[in-house]
Amino acid sequence: MSENVILSEVSGHVGLLTINRPKVHNALSTLVLLELERAFIALEKDPEVRVIVFTGAGEKAFVAGGDLAEMISRDGITHYQEFAEDIHRVFRRIEVSDKPTIAAVNGYALGGGTELLLSLDIRLLADNAELALPEIGLGVFPGAGGTQRMIRQVPPCIAKELMFSGRRFKAEEALRIGLVNRVVPNAELLNEAMGLAAQIAEKSPLVLKLMKRALRDGINMPMEAALAHEQAMIGLAFDTQDAQEGMAAFLEKRKANFKGR
């Protein structure tokens, strides 16, 4: 397939990844998934890029889930296992990245689309966005980390209702249950997401990296161990040029210019 299924752009210190299969509402085929992984890793390795935004091409969808035409056409269990391995690896890589990630959800985020959102740090929704884990209605499993991330991110009774019923829910409900950060008019979504990304990208990339590590590792530790882990990060953060620059800039009443060192 010669189609460019993932578009990758860099603007200042912000990387933008667009899932680009609008004819099928940006459904995730194996090719899309592997291209997403490749493009994400390239942005992750780019020292100029400090924050990565994800969106979908077209007017209607962020990602309408796994590609059902591909899913049904392959030999059942083997394909499912392979696809599950790929999707788990890619989404986990994105989730545990040292660089902050933002979802700009421009419409349907269904199945794998909601599961991608669940793997991203910050979520902005267009007012026309709709989310769901509808897999149960298709007789398949929300196996892109959906069960495990949903149950950890919203109250269990809500997570279970959404998973067991598979029902679609709108942006305002996603906001009310604490699954997303904000809902904005569709026309303003990308600007809002890029603006927020640029705001974060002005901060110390080094501290962002250490914060992401502290949050990622600390959440699964007992409190005492988590605080000790935080303390180690504080040590690493203070002994840097960014710390000197940030504090000096405050005292000199100027804007800090962080280099990530």
Smallest gap from residue 248 Cβ to ligand CO8 (A): 49
Residue whose beta carbon is closest to ligand CO8: 111
Residue (16 or 144) nearer to ligand CO8, CB: 144
Contact pick of 51, 52, 53, 110 for ligand CO8 (by CB under 6 A):
110
Residue 115, phi-psi category: left (phi > 0), alpha (psi -120 to 50), beta (remainder): alpha
Smallest gap from residue 202 Cβ to ligand CO8 (A): 35
Residue 34, interface with ligand CO8 (CB under 6 A)?
Answer: no
What are the φ and ψ backbone dihedral angles of 143, each rounded to 5 degrees?
Answer: -100, 20
- Choose the stretch contacting ligand CO8; rule: CB under 6 A; options: 35-43, 103-111, 181-189, 197-205: 103-111
Smallest gap from residue 84 Cβ to ligand CO8 (A): 4
Separation between Cα atoms, residue 198 and residue 51, nearest integer Å: 8
Residue 145, interface with ligand CO8 (CB under 6 A)?
Answer: no
**Spatial CA neighbour of 201 closest among 10, 24, 2, 7:** 10
Six token digits for residue 116: 């991608």
Residue 14, interface with ligand CO8 (CB under 6 A)?
Answer: no
Q: Could you tell me how many residues of this chain bind ligand CO8 (CB under 6 A)? A: 25
Position of tokens 């009310």? 176
Given 3-state DSSP classes, what are the helix, strand and coil percentages for the chain, each rounded to the nearest 5?
50, 15, 30
Separation between Cα atoms, residue 34 and residue 203, nearest integer Å: 31
Contact pick of 16, 27, 162, 179 for ligand CO8 (by CB under 6 A):
27
Instruction: Give the single-character DSSP code of 66.
Output: B
- Known catalytic membership, residue 135: yes
Contact pick of 105, 120, 125, 144 for ligand CO8 (by CB under 6 A):
144
Active site positions, annotated? 115, 135
